[in-house]
A and B are shown apart, each in its own frame.
Chain A
Amino acid sequence: MKNKLLALRDVALLRLEQLDLEAWRVEYLGKKGELATVLRGMATLSAEERPVIGLVANEVRADLEEAFVARKAELDSRQAALREQAETIDVTLAGRTPYLGAEHPLRKVIRRIEDIFIGFGFTVEDGPEVELDRYNFEALNLPKDHPARDMQDTFYLTEEILLRTHTSPVQARTLERRCPETPIRIVVPGRVYRRDDDDATHSHAFMQIEALVVDHGIRMSDLKGILLQFARDLFGADQEIRLRPSFFPFTEPSAEMDIRCIYCHGDGCSTCKHTGWIEILGCGMVHPHVLEAGGYDTSSLTGFAIGMGVERIAMLSYQVEDIRQFYLNDVRLLEQFATLTR
């Protein structure tokens, strides 16, 4: 019987690859299969023989079952391979890309600067573009016929109503509204207008962003500290700044801030006119007349203000040569900004 079992195993293993796998299973491992048939003969065996043959029989069954599983796995994987081969595609074809939108470069710059100042604890303020002479000029220490009004040729709508020439009227409005509250820390982005003919560096409409701080004990050194941090956030951690005296009617002392040229790093190139420095923004300590116009006590309070042109920073950052590019909105240019994560 033992021989019969062993012979059965050999034949079965031999035929494994010849028969259909399911037919093979029925024939050898099924309830009516050959192994079962042989085992049914066990009843005729003696008590001594039975455990011995039983052992052999189990061994044969295990071998056959193992062979079955292995064969099944082999066939399955062969089938899968065939199916995948049939389903093979050209993975080098471009995917179905959704359209990719992009933020306008000017908005991008504004958002970055807003975020830097939000990080410093500033809130973002808006104000009207159509302004009153009073807020655009008079409250900012620019009385009627002040020669400094020439710096900003104005679009008037009526004698008293005009398009703001800078974002600074929002300073005047905020001071007036919030007086005597302190501290004031605001950042104001927005569109402004000057009666300039459009050319490569001038636009009748452009964007500014400015910041204002009013509190007890604000010093010009605090202004410098914020500016240094700002410049480093915007242009890189090793950026240097320098302040130069300047003039704005609404600040005193006033300054202009230069950064180390971001192209030549100070060696001198055409962008920085070989000075190694690039002028970025104007700033200063809030003029006492401006604080007074807002109702604040100038003996105990001081403040600083910062103002910059968004286009200028965008032109420098992205090497755009002509300011009009920002307003032509050629999608071939704008699309390029989709690739920028910051």
Chain B
Amino acid sequence: MKITWNWLSQYVDLQGLTPEQVAEDLTNAGIPVEYLAPVATGIENVVVGHVKSANQHPNADRLRVCTVAVGAAEDLTIVCGAANVAAGQRVPVALAGARLPQGPIGKSTLRGVASEGMICSASELGLDVRLLPKDQTTGIFVLPADAPVGESIVEYLELSDMVMELELTPNRSDCLSLRGVAYEVAALYSRKVSMQAPQLRTPPQAERPLKVEIATDRCMAYAGQVVSGLSLRPAPLWMQMRLLAVGVRPINNIVDITNYVMFEWGQPLHAFDYDAIAGGHIIVRDAQREEALVTLDGQARALEPAMTVIADPEKALGLAGVMGGESSEVTANTRAVVIESALFDPLQTRRTGKRLQLRSEAGMRFEKGIDPAATLPALARAVELLCAYGGGAIASGPRLAGAALADANTRHDAVRQVAVRADRATAVLGFTVDIEQILSVCERLQFAAREENGTVLVDVPSRRPDIRIEEDLIEEIARLIGYDHIPATMIAGSLTAGGLSNEQQLTRVATDHLIALGMQQVVTYSFVTPAVAERTRLQPDDELRRMIPLLHPLSEERSVLRTMMLPSLLEVAEYNVNRRQLDLRLFEIGTVYLPESLPLQKQPTERRVIAGLLIGQAQAPSPLSESRSIDFFDVKGMVESLLKRIGVDAAAQYTRSMAPFLHGGQAADITAAGSPIGVIGKLRQEVCANFGIDLTDAFYFELSVEALLPLIRERLHVVELPRFPGTLRDLALVVNRALPVSELLTAVRSVAGPLLDDVRVFDVYTGEHVGIEEKSVALRLSFRSRERTLTDEDLQKPIAAVLDAVTIAYGASLRG
């Protein structure tokens, strides 16, 4: 919402205030002023001139030599290149030594004729030419014939008037009018609003019949009046300049007056060409099925019964509150208009506007709600201005319909009573508020108020629909006393222990651990393209294909909710690989969204997943060591390290995985305590290629936070340190090459007896010293007793048991 300082000063006394101060105080009162600047700056020595003659330049076809009176003793000779310059015009003239926004103007000689100044165009004066009519922007800016010759253009066009742009919160629709801002400023400085509500007038003789009728419950009030004898012409320049300053395009006197009054009173108005209304009969009704209307912008609109139209008995004339129709548009031939001032249902206006993608200053005001008390004054004001600036005369009595007006017609401000208690205000705000302060705030707001037993009863006028409950008034009190007045205190109540849930703690520890292992945390979007299902080679019946679609996605690329983290990480990898970042260790603890069924019936399960993607070298490059590409066991080592860090490593088992996106021979499902907790493996080359990553191996892992959570160690009982030395025995067992080492270890652990402390693999050999189908697995068994030092004899039995067991189960033999 834009306003100007001069315009505002018409309705509230601004004496002694500066725009800067008002802007700051409005901002601190919750009406932020986003922009404050003069209409145009940098203009000096530009005056209104009168073109006495404009003759062809002797040496140039396109130039004219003009004699221009500027209120000085001598007329000036000015060479002008604009095609529209003509004798008799009033124009802005930059005198020699003048300043314009683009720079200074001096005397110059053009093709042999000395020019003593410059006739200016609108853009040279710094005006927003996008909003000006075309004939005002091509060539020089022609001023009205009554412009006083010699007057400074800055004065005449009010170019030094300050434009303020207010950034209004949705509750302050009252400030979508000069009237509302005037009340706000009046409240800030305890001043009075000087805005007279003009009265509707009825002519002695109604020359033009007008009947208004409401045939829908979506229109609360409708008022209309006919003004005839109009002639269409530009609105007075001061009105155009003001509209221009607040960002409204001046069009003609009738349209400009409706806009001007809308800014004044906040009530949108519409002018219909009276002759286009059959029988002078206006009906507000729901649109009919398959009804059509060509709107002002020339578009043919298909209407729906959910929309409200203004119609005559034969046809729709306009969309209520949204846009008028072409057939009843004001044109150069229009002599009589019906001015409409109405209250339309906010929701309906909003829905229709959204449906047709029509946003307008009027629609925006209807959506937020109009003060019913402004409806009739706005109509009266528009009629008054049409008579003054359109050559019009009132041609019908005001015609009113709707319950909302019955009330407002008799009382200027319909009111709502809201009570506020001083002790409640004190309790909510944290500083003492007494009755006098409340009454004083109400007086500043020009709300009638009286005290009754510690409670102030406030009559809130209809212009402030945002104030409905006690807290709303408490905010008004705090706002006008000033939020700076609120002290900073500490919460009084009982102490509470803050902290993290187990899951939050787990994700923090996992994050820190992966970072310590050299991984880079990333954060990716949850939306992906459904094409990731194909790109990751999901089977047609894979549950992960059930990705929840957005009803109105912004793009196909981000149109469904992800069911896995892999595509997100691959997207990041692609971005970085394309920038020649080839060593990537990425992880994210992200969310996947798994619906029970599609279409969605209820909220999906949101599962948190720790996912990692690794590409490139195993170690940071160094001249001291050979480089080596990352492999499965580097990644597995990280996963094992992470699982150990959170206390679940012992339980984890790795079995060959069939995940469709992973390498057939280098992938494992990870389970712990019998339930799946994740997968790990090399990505299939095809999958990488589908995401634009070629010629490099990529490894991926993911762990489900939900699955890990019940497994994490919550307590630690320290194991007493041994007092007796342990004994080591190494066994090299030759077994079938395909035998998973983990099976061998499980077998050893299960038969070696209580003295076995630990067993680990320290070498795996394949080659010429064993059979082609065989491998040699070197195990280091460590034995220990808590009671004594073990002897060779103690170990004979367990070693024999181990050898027996592995021979029988796997045909293992000791390597000679």
Contacts and interface: CB of A to CB of B under 8 A. Distances in A.
Physical interaction between A and B:
yes
A331 B583 CA distance: 10
Interface in A108-139: 111, 114, 117-124, 126, 128-132
A253 B32 contact: no
Contacts of B475: 245, 252-254
Contact of B498 (A121, A147, A252): A121
A224 B622 contact: no
B523 A326 contact: yes
Given A119-B498, A121-B496, A285 B471 contact: yes
Contacts of A197: 554
A288 interface: yes
Contacts of A59: none
A147 B488 contact: no
A41 interface: no
A221 interface: yes
Nearest to B496: A121
B524 A288 contact: no
Interface in B138-188: 169-172
Contact of A327 (B523, B554, B603): B523
A124 B496 contact: no
A260 interface: no
A155 B519 contact: no
A183 interface: yes
Interface string B717-746: 000000000000000000000000000000
Interface stretch (B23-31, B91-99, B280-288): B23-31
B368 A147 contact: yes
A94 B579 CA distance: 25
B494 interface: yes
Given A130-B606, A156-B552, A245 B479 contact: yes
Interface string B575-617: 1100101011110000101000001101110100000000000
Contacts of A147: 170, 346, 350, 367-368
Q: Is the interface of B mostly helix, strand, loop or mixed?
A: loop
B469 A220 contact: no
B501 interface: yes
Contact of A220 (B429, B492, B622): B429
Interface in B338-382: 346-347, 350-351, 367-368
B490 A222 contact: yes
Q: Is the interface of A mostly helix, strand, loop or mixed?
A: mixed
B665 interface: no
A288 B504 contact: no
Interface in A219-239: 219-222, 224-228
A220 B525 contact: no
A221 B499 contact: no
A253 B503 CA distance: 35
B516 interface: yes
Given A126-B504, A155-B550, A191-B526, A302 B586 contact: no
Q: How large is the interface on A (under 10, 10 to 19, 20 to 34, 35 or more residues)?
A: 35 or more
Contacts of A163: 550
Interface stretch (B507-515, B707-715, B754-762, B799-807): B507-515
A273 to B, nearest CB: 9
A204 B520 contact: no
Interface stretch (A5-13, A16-24, A29-37, A95-103): A95-103
Of residues A117, A217, A252, A285, which shows the largest number of chain B Cβ atoms within 10 Å of its Cβ?
A: A252
A207 B498 CA distance: 22
Interface in A76-109: 93-104, 106-107
A291 to B, nearest CB: 11
A131 B522 CA distance: 25
A330 interface: yes
Contacts of A25: none
Given A215-B491, A244-B28, A332-B579, A104 B527 contact: no
Nearest to B519: A101
Interface in A142-176: 145, 147-148, 150-151, 155-158, 161, 163
Contact of B491 (A128, A151, A213): A213
Interface in B618-675: 619-620, 622-625
Contact of B486 (A132, A220, A329): A220
Interface string B505-548: 00010010011111111111111000000000000000000001
Of residues B483, B499, B503, which shows the largest number of chain A Cβ atoms within 10 Å of its Cβ?
A: B483
Nearest to A155: B550
B499 A99 contact: no
B550 A98 contact: no
B419 to A, nearest CB: 14
A245 B30 CA distance: 4
Interface string B414-438: 0000000000000111110000000
A129 B594 CA distance: 12
B500 interface: yes
A243 interface: yes
B522 A117 contact: no
Contacts of A205: 525-527
A329 B585 CA distance: 12
B504 A330 contact: no
Contacts of B431: 221
A312 interface: no
A217 B490 CA distance: 11
Given A129-B606, A157-B551, A185-B498, A96 B622 contact: yes
Contact of A101 (B170, B367, B491, B518): B518
B439 interface: no
B586 A329 contact: yes
Interface string B463-500: 00000010110110011000110111111111111111
Nearest to B507: A107
A89 B169 CA distance: 69
B43 to A, nearest CB: 23
A334 B521 contact: yes
Contacts of B572: 329
A255 interface: yes
Contacts of A104: 521-523
Interface string A289-327: 000000000000010000000000000000000000011
Contact of A99 (B429, B575, B619): B619
Contact of A224 (B487, B516, B585): B487
A185 B494 CA distance: 11
Contacts of A219: 427-430, 489
Interface in A22-70: none
B549 to A, nearest CB: 8
Interface string A247-290: 10000111100000000000000000000000000000101100
Contacts of B623: 93-94
A224 B486 contact: yes
B490 A132 contact: no
A170 B188 CA distance: 37
Given A101-B518, A157-B551, A220-B478, A122 B483 contact: no
B446 to A, nearest CB: 18
A243 B622 CA distance: 54
B23 to A, nearest CB: 10
A157 B549 CA distance: 7
Interface string A173-215: 0000000001101000001010101000000110000000101
A335 B519 CA distance: 10
Contacts of B550: 155-157, 163
23 contacts: A104-B521, A104-B523, A120-B498, A126-B503, A128-B606, A129-B593, A130-B603, A145-B350, A155-B550, A156-B552, A215-B491, A217-B493, A220-B478, A220-B486, A224-B488, A225-B491, A242-B484, A245-B29, A247-B171, A285-B428, A330-B581, A334-B521, A335-B520
Given A98-B619, A220-B486, A242-B28, 10 more contacts: A93-B623, A122-B498, A123-B496, A145-B350, A158-B551, A205-B526, A221-B489, A222-B492, A224-B430, A328-B575
Nearest 10 Cβ contacts at the A-B interface: A221-B430, A245-B30, A99-B518, A219-B430, A247-B169, A253-B475, A101-B515, A118-B498, A121-B496, A252-B471
